């Protein structure tokens, strides 16, 4: 498990350079006392490992920018990919406050030659826009949701795709969560496209921290949503991380068919394939204890495997 005694650790993502695994994570000081205050104090930390079990913290990756900037409140969740020219790209969420005090999220990126020293590109490359995506002026949600970029190469070699936690501009307010979509030919300039899913009365208010992978030959989408942010028709299922089998990395995705991969004690599930044996593993952060109090910290690896049409978590490795 990866944890920090003086800080809360929550959302995270990985990069693999072929020799070491890199863990990027959100963290904030426990001196805040209230764990709910951590979101507006988040920085992006960095740790490395050779086995996905023992981690060594190294220098932080990113912190918020000075105001005024799209990330002058906090830097939030993202993903890392490598351009064919060898440059690493870290896509992340920049958080800022609107005049009314509500949170607005946009997507930016930083680049690196070594996964350790990162240089921000400047302003955001993507934000929520009509006609497909809900913006703050709708009044239907507590923030302008456009975050958690998951970037991957097109399977057929046609550029790059980004999946985003977003909300549709129409549909039931508690079911407008969609998988936002954008495309790029070079990782630097992005074209906003329509969502890959549709709002639904049996869906979610937000599909957080999406990831798509081909696990043992079968595509799957995973995302996270707590019960309080699910559509009314789905509440009570108590899922933390959810899974949706798919036909391809770009869907179609039947959100109504989503099922819990973990309960709410674990959140922000992430899949990674271990180099040593090709086995797929799930990580998550510890969300809540038996009394519902926030915990934090990234779990040890949990093997996953297909049982029929469902990907399931196997007993943890010793």
- The domain ranges of the chain are 7-313
Can you give the pLDDT at residue 317? 58
CB 302, CB 26: distance < 8 Å: no
Q: Report mean pLDDT in 10-residue bins for the chain, 318 residues.
A: 97 98 98 96 97 98 97 97 98 94 94 98 96 94 95 97 98 96 98 97 97 98 96 87 97 96 97 97 96 96 96 78
Can you give the pLDDT at residue 51? 98
Pairing relationship of beta strands 103-112 and 143-144 according to DSSP bridges: parallel
Instruction: Say how far apart CA 304 and CA 87 lie, in whole Å.
Output: 31
Can you give the pLDDT at residue 281? 98
Can you give the pLDDT at residue 316? 66
Cα distances (Å, whole numbers) of residue 14 to 81, 120, 158, 194, 270: 10, 19, 23, 27, 8
Name the strand (E) or helix (H) holding 223: strand 218-224
241: closest CA among 312, 296, 307? 312
Both tokens of residue 158? 């046609």
CB 168, CB 134: distance < 8 Å: yes
Q: What pTM does this model have? A: 0.97
Domain range 7-313, CATH class: mainly beta
CB 251, CB 193: distance < 8 Å: no
Cβ contacts of residue 207 below 8 Å, gap of 6+? 165, 177, 178, 179, 197, 223, 224, 225, 242, 255
CB 89, CB 81: distance < 8 Å: yes
Can you give the pLDDT at residue 237? 73
């Amino acid at each position: 498990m990866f944890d920090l005694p003086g800080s809360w650790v929550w959302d995270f993502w990985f990069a693999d350079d072929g020799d070491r695994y890199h863990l990027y994570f959100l963290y904030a000081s426990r001196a805040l006392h209230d764990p709910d205050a951590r979101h507006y104090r988040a920085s992006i930390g960095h740790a490395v490992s050779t086995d996905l079990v023992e981690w060594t913290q190294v220098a932080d990756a990113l912190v918020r920018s000075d105001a005024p900037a799209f990330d002058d409140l906090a830097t939030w969740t993202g993903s890392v990919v490598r351009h064919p020219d060898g440059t690493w790209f870290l896509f992340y969420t920049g958080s800022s406050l609107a005049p009314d005090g509500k949170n607005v999220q946009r997507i930016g990126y930083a680049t690196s030659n070594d996964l350790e020293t990162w240089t921000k590109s400047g302003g955001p490359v993507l934000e929520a826009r009509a006609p497909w995506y809900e913006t703050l002026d709708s009044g239907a949600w507590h923030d302008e949701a456009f975050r958690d970029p998951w970037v991957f190469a097109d399977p057929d070699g046609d550029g790059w795709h980004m999946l985003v936690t977003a909300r549709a501009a129409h549909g039931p307010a508690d079911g407008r969560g969609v998988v936002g979509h954008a495309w790029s030919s070079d990782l630097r300039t992005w074209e906003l496209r329509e969502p890959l899913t549709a709002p639904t009365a049996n869906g979610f208010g937000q599909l957080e921290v999406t990831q798509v992978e081909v696990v043992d030959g079968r595509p799957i989408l995973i995302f996270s949503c707590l019960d309080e942010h699910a559509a009314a028709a789905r509440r009570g299922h108590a899922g933390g991380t959810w899974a949706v089998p798919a036909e391809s990395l770009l869907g179609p995705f039947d959100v109504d068919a989503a099922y819990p991969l973990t309960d709410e004690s674990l959140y922000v599930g992430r899949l990674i394939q271990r180099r040593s044996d090709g086995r797929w593993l799930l990580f998550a952060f510890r969300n809540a204890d038996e009394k519902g109090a926030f915990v934090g910290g990234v779990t040890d690896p949990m093997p996953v495997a297909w049982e029929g049409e469902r990907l399931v978590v196997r007993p943890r490795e010793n």
